Amino acid sequence: MRIGRSAPARVDRGPRPTRSADERHRHRWAEPGGIRLSPRHRRVCEATLVLLAASGLAWLFLHFADAADCEPEACLARWIPATLRVHGAMAMASLIVIGGLIQGHVPRAWRAGRNRLAGALLLGGASLLVVSGWGLYYVGGDWLRAATSVLHWVLGAAVVPIFFLHLARGRRTRRNPPALTTEEIHEKQ
């Protein structure tokens, strides 16, 4: 004897449509043409880049902040190794972050003709930072090491406003996508 209500009989509408694993997991952020990042991906990118910039700029501040005759234990410079530890870790993490964006975000935005100038400036700046960051470890000679250091932090300081410009301009191109060329209109038809 059955207790309770029986399950409604399944109306036969033919075989259920099968969806591939790819389709089941497809999310609107992960659409093949998607340029925007998922909220979590965006948070990871921004947190890494903010910590990278903040630790670099903190080094810069501490490097120049002390009076020439400060007592070693009172000097702000005693925090420099800590900033470098954070900066080194974030520099490595930033390579993963940038690598991930080069794989999807960048080519998609490039093909869509969106935010190319600010994007190219940001990517160019980031590449030069990676190269000069390498130089800080391996370039020999006092003069060349000092020049690499200045180049690195000047680039780093310049990239910060470029990043925010990039975000703002990117959003603007979302609201006003660039007009299609006649060729592109024909291609779409």
Residue numbers at the binding site for ligand HEM (CB under 6 A): 35-37, 42, 45-46, 52-53, 56-57, 59-60, 84, 87-88, 91, 94-95, 98, 101, 105-106, 109-110, 114-116, 119-120, 122-123, 126, 129-130, 133, 136-137, 149, 152-153, 156-157, 159-160, 166-167, 170-171, 173-174
- Nearest alpha carbon to residue 77 among 93, 92, 88, 64: 64
Residue with tokens 């530890």: 85
Instruction: Please report the sign of the dihedral spanned by the C-alpha atoms of residue 144, residue 91, residue 111, residue 158.
Output: negative
Q: Least separation, in Å, of the C-beta of 139 and ligand HEM? A: 11
Cα separations (Å) of 3 from 6, 7, 9, 75?
8, 11, 17, 80
Q: How far is the CB of 161 from ligand HEM (least distance, A)?
A: 11
Complex with ligand HEM: residue 65 or 120, whichever CB lies closer: 120
CB of 44 to ligand HEM, least distance (A): 9
What is the closest distance, in whole angstroms, from the C-beta atom of residue 165 to ligand HEM in the complex? 11
Q: Which is nearer to ligand HEM, 70 or 154 (CB)?
A: 154
Please give the Cα distance from 15 to 64 (Å, whole number).
Answer: 72
What are the contacts of 175-179 at 24+ separation with CB within 8 A? Answer: 177/112, 177/114, 178/113, 178/114
